[in-house]
Amino acid sequence: MPELPDVEGFRGVMQRCAGGRRVDGVEVRDAGVLRGVTARRLCRELQGRRFAQPWRHGKWLVTPSDGPALVWHFGMTGELLCAAPDDAVEAHDRLLITLDGGRQLRYRDRRKLQGVRLAADEAAVERILADLGPDARGLDLSRFLRLLSGRRGGIKSALTDQSLLAGLGNLLADEILWRARVRPDRSVRGLDDDELRRVHAAMGRVLRSSVRAGRVPARRGWLTGRRDDAEPVCPRCGRPLASGRTAGRRTVWCEHCQR
């Protein structure tokens, strides 16, 4: 699933491919990726518009223009690509936006669980994003502690709750908690200040590295690089990794390192 680093990578694709460019054509190959807008209206509203600089909040990407804005959520399998108009179109390329200068922006999505919205103005963008918490990237320690103060439930559930903290998904949460040596099912209220500081510090390190890579890297020194092995072991201590369900998602952790 695309998480904050992936969407930051898509923001870069959008900026390089479409920033400052005029829309010369829109082809909706599958309206199943549109949310709250018809294919006809999307084509009509975007035609001739010039894109401004895109920005991201959590797992959402916003592309303003000199008219409406596109608001993207990539669900489980969505991605943005920059192509030439004569490049072969893949089966899962759902939306093609042709730009002046000969570039084409493509939204590719196999499962179509989320998709593309059209926001008439800044107020409409704000309404779409209204239920999100602050972006996880660059969140300072004091605000992080305030967000978790009095929080019920487990720490992984808190980290992946987009209304509390926007941008973290399953892979990031597991990686952060493994680095902080905190079990994912620990109660937030049961964590002391030192443990919460470790979680915050690990979040910053993981996000910095992941944003540079454009994804959560599957490095062998990371939990992410081991979790899908046939017999996964902890990159730190070499003991077998545990796997279960936490916050409704498959969760991987080390029983030895994360007590």
Residues making up the chain, counted from first to last:
259
- What value, to the nearest 5°, has the Cα angle with vertex 65 and ends 63 and 68? 90
- Tell me how far apart the alpha carbons of residues 241 and 255 are, in angstroms, rounded to a whole number: 7
- Tell me how far apart the alpha carbons of residues 205 and 176 are, in angstroms, rounded to a whole number: 9
Check 2, 5, 54, 64 and give the catalytic one.
2
Terminal alpha carbon distance of the chain: 28
Torsion angles phi and psi, residue 106, rounded to 5: -125, 130
Q: What is the widest separation between alpha-carbon atoms in the chain?
A: 59
Q: What is the CA radius of gyration of the chain?
A: 20
Q: Is 249 a catalytic residue?
A: yes
Helical (H) or strand (E) element with 82:
strand 79-83
Q: DSSP string of 29-68?
A: S-GGGBSSS-HHHHHHHHTT-BB---EEETTEEEE-BSS-
Q: Is 8 a catalytic residue?
A: no
Check 56, 59, 117, 183 and give the catalytic one.
59
* Amino acid at position 93, single letter: D
Q: Is 240 a catalytic residue?
A: no
Check 3, 8, 45, 175 and give the catalytic one.
3
Q: Is 3 a catalytic residue?
A: yes
Under 8 Å between Cβ of 110 and 77 = yes
Catalytic annotation, residues = 2-3, 59, 249
